[in-house]
Amino acid sequence: MLNIFSKLMSVFLLMLTTTASAGYIDFTGQNEGVADEFIFTQEGVTLTISAWTTNVKSDSDPSLDQFVVTPWQRLLGSYGVYKGSSGLGVISSDTDGSHLDGGEYTNLDDLDEGLLFVFSEQVNFWGFAADYLSSNDDLNLSIVNFLSPTTIETTDIFIDREADSDGYEGFPISSVLGSAFMVWVDGNDDDVRIADTFITKVPEPNMLILFSLVLIGLAVRRKI
């Protein structure tokens, strides 16, 4: 009986600290046009998404892919995040389309576009999905450092790969802990929408303490 109780308690507490705090955030649905930022809430976590641009040479040395520092410029006013029925894109100029698209490295009027994901607390980021993909579209995910409230840099590229097929596809990773991430493209022919993302909340300290105490209690009872 004790063994059964132990297993049930372990499963119950594991569910409290993991599954119950999972969050799938869908960016599709109503077409809302362009804004400086869009805000989403899931499982008590607030996600604020803004639009940024940079200029990256997409055929850079592959050995640098795991640690790239890139300056970014935020888009405001008439340019910014575009929320359409199929997901999120960026409008960065009067001639730019509403998808998330890369630029020509030699043309400073055609910049690489990114969506900055800022969460209200640290989360485990499990990846994202994109739509309108072509098999040669190259997407990236980076950690973001804030140099000031309005100045950022990206480091440590966790995703830098081409799509496997056309249409909708997920870009999963094995969980990255953080509160700010950049989803971006850097190829001149990249042209996509970001459809959704998946996170899990980091368990609160009191929940971890409760979980540990129960496990210790179960271990003591086995010895009695």
Question: What pLDDT, in 10s, does the model give residues 144-187?
Answer: 999 988 899 998 877 888 888 889 999 998 889 999 999 999 88
5 token code pair:
């109780």
In this prediction, residue 21 has a pLDDT band, given cuts at 50, 70 and 90, of low
Residue type, 24: Y
Question: What pLDDT, in 10s, does the model give residues 192-201?
Answer: 999 999 999 8
In this prediction, residue 66 has a pLDDT band, given cuts at 50, 70 and 90, of low
Note the pLDDT of residue 15. 47
For the chain, what is the total number of helices (H) and then of strands (E)? Answer: 2, 14
In this prediction, residue 63 has a pLDDT band, given cuts at 50, 70 and 90, of low
CA distance 169 to 195: 9
11 pLDDT above the threshold of 70:
no
CA distance 137 to 165: 9
68 token code pair:
């790239």
